[in-house]
Structure 1
């Protein structure tokens, strides 16, 4: 079909969803290599925090949540 050109006003309606392929739903992190250079323990913590954020759909987490993640890795006071 056409682009939906409204000849009266010269407006092109580009909202049509025909032929649009959805982008792949991959990781959308801005800095995907942000864990390079970390010690193994720090990398494990960073990956656990990232996994928690993805699982719970949270961009920012509280200190209580960070503590729960650390304890789930086996650390204790």
Structure 2
């Protein structure tokens, strides 16, 4: 059975800081993690550049055009 809390319309509940009484998760979940281990130096450079692009443009995913922009910003050109 679900419970409903009725609040006056001018009351804001910030759920990000809500203490639900449960246990905190064991690990911190982040959108961007360092999964660049085991990559070649060139692939790691590209991965970091893509991550920086996503952070600076507040994007979770990028388009192929944006990927091409990142690649050309690193100096790569079609032979």
1:51 correspondence with 2:39: no
Q: Would you tell me which structure has more strand in proportion to its own residues?
A: 1
Question: Which sections of structure 2, spanning at least 5 residues, go unmatched?
Answer: 8-12, 18-29
- Root-mean-square deviation (Å): 2.5
**Equivalent pairs, count:** 56
Q: Which has the higher contact order (CA 8 A, sep 6+)?
A: 2
Normalised by the length of structure 1, the TM-score is 0.62
Partner of residue 10, structure 2: none
Partner of residue 24, structure 1: none
Normalised by the length of structure 2, the TM-score is 0.60
Partner of residue 37, structure 1: 38
Partner of residue 73, structure 1: 74
Distance 1:53 1:33 in 2: 14
Between structure 1 and structure 2, the one with the greater Rg is 1
